[in-house]
Amino acid sequence: MSDEREVAEAATGEDASSPPPKTEAASDPQHPAASEGAAAAAASPPLLRCLVLTGFGGYDKAGDRVMVLNRSGMWQEEVTVPSVQTFLIPEAMTFEEAAALLVNYITAYMVLFDFGNLQPGHSVLVHMAAGGVGMAAVQLCRTVENVTVFGTASASKHEALKENGVTHPIDYHTTDYVDEIKKISPKGVDIVMDPLGGSDTAKGYNLLKPMGKVVTYGMANLLTGPKRNLMALARTWWNQFSVTALQLLQANRAVCGFHLGYLDGEVELVSGVVARLLALYNQGHIKPHIDSVWPFEKVNVADAMKQMQEKKNVGKVLLVPGPEKEN
């Protein structure tokens, strides 16, 4: 028997770095890290077309609602995935929440806890704090006592940041975030979450307290708008951070790199993180923040992409198969 299962998607997470789907979606390359979706192995939800269960996964009962963690190819109505990449959706969780959970929260969790060693009393700099990973990270910081969170985002998103638990929102468009943090915390911070790359990695490193860590997990500085910008590419490459082992030793700091897409062979490791995340969800400590939900049709996919390219989103942008929903 195959250990694959076929699922039909109910909602799929979208990322700014993903290209829009093509009509022959089956071979569609997607998120460079990983993509996610929520699906059901039952005929009941009207959005689903076809469901066949063939696998021996953790969840092998027809009718299970599952979320899927897959490296690519999730922008389609039906997918076949190894059952180890599926996780049972808790009863109280909607398909949309499930689609918004895996990539954002696994990334935030592993960066903060597995690399960052987040402890009570720590301070954390979260860049892109109003994005999907950023919102997840801030909620996870709240699960530890007395954590100070500096979060960068456009000023229009600061109310949402405060509601989510950011202690000090910083508008990086108008303020030098390094100066701002140094004013509040002259010694700097314990953890820098760095999805930006380029010169921001060095700034993050220099903001670290002794025993601090900068965890780099993205290169958003490469993207400055809807079109490829060669100047930004060159600038980011030129400003790439580098450090020697001797410098690290003398500074008592660590630099880590995280890419969920390259952990796809680490089933036990990732499943353990998902189990802890689902426990936090069931206890009411985390809740995916959904910016907007878009129907799975080409014209609206373009609108969904625009929402991200224009940096309007707060939280996750989702695609769903089926008719238009109120946003």
Ligand X SMILES: NC(=O)c1ccc[n+]([C@@H]2O[C@H](COP(=O)([O-])OP(=O)(O)OC[C@H]3O[C@@H](n4cnc5c(N)ncnc54)[C@H](OP(=O)(O)O)[C@@H]3O)[C@@H](O)[C@H]2O)c1
Asked if 221 is part of the footprint of ligand X (rule: CB under 6 A), the reply reads yes
Asked if 168 is part of the footprint of ligand X (rule: CB under 6 A), the reply reads no
Euclidean distance between CA atoms 105 and 161, whole angstroms: 17
Binder among 157, 203, 213, 289 for ligand X (CB under 6 A): 157
Closest Cα to residue 144, out of 108, 168, 120, 176? 120
Q: Which of the stretches 15-23, 203-211, 234-242, 267-275 binds ligand X when contact is defined by CB under 6 A?
A: 15-23
Asked if 115 is part of the footprint of ligand X (rule: CB under 6 A), the reply reads no
Residue with smaller CB distance to ligand X, 76 or 107 = 107
Binding mask 120-139 for ligand X (x = CB under 6 A): --------x-xxxxx-----
Distance of CA 45 to the CA centre of its chain: 26
Asked if 170 is part of the footprint of ligand X (rule: CB under 6 A), the reply reads no
Asked if 154 is part of the footprint of ligand X (rule: CB under 6 A), the reply reads yes
Euclidean distance between CA atoms 23 and 36, whole angstroms: 19
Residue 64 CB, shortest distance to ligand X, in Å, is: 26
Residue 158 CB, shortest distance to ligand X, in Å, is: 10
Residue 246 CB, shortest distance to ligand X, in Å, is: 27
Euclidean distance between CA atoms 324 and 71, whole angstroms: 27
Asked if 102 is part of the footprint of ligand X (rule: CB under 6 A), the reply reads no
3-state helix, strand, coil in the chain (%, to 5): 35, 25, 45
In whole angstroms, how far apart are CA 205 and each of 169, 197, 243?
A: 20, 11, 10
Closest Cα to residue 255, out of 240, 270, 269? 240
Binder among 258, 281, 294, 296 for ligand X (CB under 6 A): 258
Residue 289 CB, shortest distance to ligand X, in Å, is: 10
The Cβ of residue 176 has, within 10 Å, a number of other Cβ atoms equal to 11
Q: What does DSSP say about strands 189-194 and 148-152: parallel, antiparallel, or unpaired?
A: unpaired
Sheet order of strands, 189-194 included: 168-170, 148-152, 123-126, 189-194, 208-216, 254-257
Residue with smaller CB distance to ligand X, 8 or 124 = 124
Q: Which of the stretches 20-28, 76-84, 266-274, 307-315 binds ligand X when contact is defined by CB under 6 A?
A: 307-315
Q: Which of the stretches 40-48, 175-183, 215-223, 298-306 binds ligand X when contact is defined by CB under 6 A?
A: 215-223
**Under rule CB under 6 A, which residues in 31-50 are in contact with ligand X?**
33
Binder among 223, 274, 318, 319 for ligand X (CB under 6 A): 223
Q: Which of the stretches 10-18, 93-101, 246-254, 297-305 binds ligand X when contact is defined by CB under 6 A?
A: 10-18
Please work out the total of residues on this chain that contact ligand X, with binding judged by CB under 6 A: 29
Residue 52 CB, shortest distance to ligand X, in Å, is: 30
Binder among 220, 273, 277, 305 for ligand X (CB under 6 A): 220
Asked if 218 is part of the footprint of ligand X (rule: CB under 6 A), the reply reads yes
Distance of CA 66 to the CA centre of its chain: 19
- Name residue 191's beta-bridge partners: 124, 213
Contact 135, 165 (CB under 8 A): no
Please enumerate in sequence order all residues whose Cβ is within 8 A of that of 109, keeping only pairs 6 or more positions apart, or say none.
136, 140, 273, 276, 277
Helix (H) or strand (E) holding 137: helix 132-141
Residue with smaller CB distance to ligand X, 57 or 315 = 315
Residue 196 CB, shortest distance to ligand X, in Å, is: 6
- Name residue 40's beta-bridge partners: 8, 65
Q: Which residues bind ligand X (CB under 6 A)?
A: 15-17, 33, 103, 107, 128, 130-134, 153-154, 157, 195-196, 217-218, 220-221, 223, 258-261, 308, 311, 313
